[in-house]
Structure 1
Amino acid sequence: MEAPAAITTLEPSTPRSCPLVLTPAKIVVRFGDPASVNCSTSATGFSQIGWEAISGGTVSDGTVIAWTVEKVEDWNTKPLCYINVNDGLCSTMLDITLYKTPDSVSVSPLDQGPMVEGAEYRLKCDITNVAPVQQLKLTWYRGSETVHTEMFNDTRKTPVNVSSTLKVTPERDHNGVLFRCEAELHLGLNGSELVPNVTSSPYMAVVHYKPRVKTCSRRYAGVEHKFSIDRLPCEVDGNPPPTIQWYHEDELINASEPLHRTQSGEYTAEIINSLGSSNFSVLITIEYGPSFTCAGNLEVVEDDTFQCEADGVPKPLVTWFKGDRREEVAAPQRWTKNDHGKYSLQAINTHGQATHELHVVVLYGPVFNGLDSAEVTVILGEDVTFNCSADGNPTPEIEWSYSPKANIGKNI
């Protein structure tokens, strides 16, 4: 049965005035896919029920009629179900949304050259051939973080090309971060569940920034002849990658040359790239194993404080042993005549040990041991002998003095 000519002028009636039910009441269809909707009525006494559409128009004298299309290929289609009742025609229009996912979503830079820390930079997201654009939501991501969302006001139903610009002020931590944009059609209940999002390929940010030191100890100890400045566990950062120059006492040095004990001190690094430079300093201590600098034979004066010290960094622990039996003794603080003799010294630190043989001679002034007797009885005309001794180093010389008497001769 063909639809009457008057149908072409139908306008949709209000739901209350027209006893028609569409199942489903709303549909979301991808352009080019099939579609099917039933129109039914509970009214009696009507002559016919039918569909008016650019494609798929049908008429029936039953209570249910289907609008079925193998391919929906008209962006302006407005399927209308109508019924011819006793008091005239009434109708209802199908709520249909046709969509098309983008052919492509891509990110590209709008500004030439790399990003520079602190300077504004623009990225563009292009979305091609998408519909309906007014239901498109675009989301920008930096890594996994959402940085911008955008909706579009274009009311066209046919596919269009749209773009979005993202302004970024990059930081050094953004170097190597992936930017991407994602297109999502918000088609309402059920529709969004069927439509996949389309995401661009990632755009890797290359951010240039001034150099800096990330990690470096302000003090460091290295071992003599094994440590060089370029072995410092320091990490510097910069893009483009910076060069490093080291200075000691304002002189440029070869950072790969091993240092020796006289080169402890402050070293300054200058890190440079095309965007600038920065400096940092490290106090270097060169450590080395112990050694003795004092002679093997020493003469000291009694009560002297001279010590036989061991050189080394860190400061060595020195142990004194005396005599052939190597009896451990405390290092003399003030030398006495009883401290003379042979010593063996042992020095130890974290980098090794050293030994030193030492023979000490203690010099001290003479000390009288006394006379055999302070008083002597003599017989006139006979000899008398007085014994006197003294101790000292060097061996002291003893001199006698007396007061002459007329009746005493001398034989000293």
Structure 2
Amino acid sequence: LITVVDVFIVYLVEYFNIFFFTDPKCADKPVFTPPRLVVKYGDPTSATCSVLHISDVFGLDNSVGDFTINRTTILWTVEKITEWDTSAICYYINAAKDLCCTSLPVTVHKPPDSVSISFRNHSGPLLEGHQYTLQCEVHNVAPVENLTVTFYRGQTALGQLQSNNTEKKPVTEIFTLSINTRKEDDGVQYWCEAKLKLGPEGPQPPIVVTSEKFSATVNSTPAPETTPSTSSTPTPSFSMCFILLLFSLV
């Protein structure tokens, strides 16, 4: 039979998500299948929660979607994922009156709208031996913390960067990389690649969006100007003038 305490515990789980009531030693925790969901925003999804024993208190705390219970199994279904921070917690009370819970990780993703590359605060030809900053702008992507950006010069990878932004909703982020120019890079194309890595449960191969490529002109650094030396007739010294004066008197 369901007691008042059981009802109170369920209330805490469903409305406050209070996990410290869960017995960490609970041997038979609920099991989600699959154990993790990766869903594109706007797509449908589903998961199953199973327990080993029938319980009077058995349910699902879900932020979206519906669920149905069939003895020891709960089927959670969502027709269309429209929340970026989605979760589901399966729970039941075992024979020892322990509250056993399992949380289902849900990652909602969206590929970038576009990716662009340029030099920061610079336009026109580059000078050999100088340092410039490339910037790769990734527009409207989620979750950005799963994004890896790689800069390329021709087919050579120059560097790889990741975001430390934990925002779950789509954001636009700019990644920068400093480079030194060489004369042999004249005419070489620069571009960047944004890759959304969502693990084995995500799209395979991972989602990749690349920028357009642009060619850079690298000019040689001008040699320093030198002033040509000029020869001139030395100015007669006082002693030379004195000797000439003596000869004129003889």
Q: TM-score, normalised by structure 1?
A: 0.47
The whole-number CA distance in structure 2 between the counterparts of 1:61 and 1:199 is 47
Residue by residue, what CA displacement relative to the aligned partner does 1:257-282 show, whole Å, maximum 9, x if unpaired?
Answer: xxxxxxxxxxxxxxxxxx469xxxxx
> Is contact 1:10-1:91 (8 Å) kept?
no
Q: Report the equivalent of 1:144.
A: 155
Question: What is the letter of the counterpart of residue 74 of structure 1?
Answer: E
- The alignment status of 1:40 with 2:50, answered yes or no, reads yes
CA-based RMSD = 2.4
Question: What is the letter of the counterpart of residue 105 of structure 1?
Answer: V
User: If you compute each CA radius of gyration, which structure gives the higher value, 1 or 2?
Assistant: 1
Distance change >3 Å, CA 179–CA 94, structure 1 → 2: same
- The alignment status of 1:116 with 2:127, answered yes or no, reads yes
Between the two structures, name the one with larger relative contact order (CA 8 Å, sep ≥ 6): 2
Matches within 5 A, 1:329-344: none
Count how many residue pairs are aligned between Structure 1 and Structure 2. 210
Percent of aligned pairs with the same amino acid:
35
Q: CA deviation at 1:18?
A: 4.3
Q: CA deviation at 1:48?
A: 4.5
Higher strand share: 1
Q: CA deviation at 1:187?
A: 1.6
Q: Report the equivalent of 1:65.
A: 74
Q: Report the equivalent of 2:235.
A: none
- The alignment status of 1:94 with 2:104, answered yes or no, reads yes
The partner residue of 1:195 within 206, 230, 241 is 206
> Is contact 1:49-1:59 (8 Å) kept?
no
The whole-number CA distance in structure 2 between the counterparts of 1:15 and 1:163 is 45
Residue by residue, what CA displacement relative to the aligned partner does 1:307-366 show, whole Å, maximum 9, x if unpaired?
Answer: xxxxxxxxxxxxxxxxxxxxxxxxxxxxxxxxxxxxxxxxxxxxxxxxxxxxxxxxxxxx
Q: Report the equivalent of 1:168.
A: 179
Question: What is the letter of the counterpart of residue 78 of structure 1?
Answer: S
The partner residue of 1:104 within 114, 119, 128 is 114
Q: Report the equivalent of 1:221.
A: none
The whole-number CA distance in structure 2 between the counterparts of 1:59 and 1:196 is 33
The whole-number CA distance in structure 1 between the counterparts of 2:30 and 2:86 is 20
Q: TM-score, normalised by structure 2?
A: 0.75
The whole-number CA distance in structure 2 between the counterparts of 1:75 and 1:48 is 29
> Is contact 1:18-1:92 (8 Å) kept?
no
Distance change >3 Å, CA 193–CA 15, structure 1 → 2: farther
The whole-number CA distance in structure 1 between the counterparts of 2:139 and 2:25 is 38
Gaps (5+ residues) in structure 2?
Answer: 1-6, 225-250
Q: Report the equivalent of 1:74.
A: 83
Question: What is the letter of the counterpart of residue 37 of structure 2?
Answer: I
The partner residue of 1:51 within 53, 57, 60 is 60
- The alignment status of 1:205 with 2:216, answered yes or no, reads yes
Q: CA deviation at 1:58?
A: 2.9
> Is contact 2:26-2:98 (8 Å) kept?
no
SS at 1:197 equivalent: strand
Matches within 5 A, 1:7-406: 7-12=14-19, 13=22, 14=24, 16-44=26-54, 46-60=55-69, 62-86=71-95, 87=97, 89-110=99-120, 111-191=122-202, 193=204, 195-209=206-220, 275=222
The whole-number CA distance in structure 2 between the counterparts of 1:126 and 1:47 is 53
Q: CA deviation at 1:88?
A: 5.1
Gaps (5+ residues) in structure 1?
Answer: 211-274, 278-412
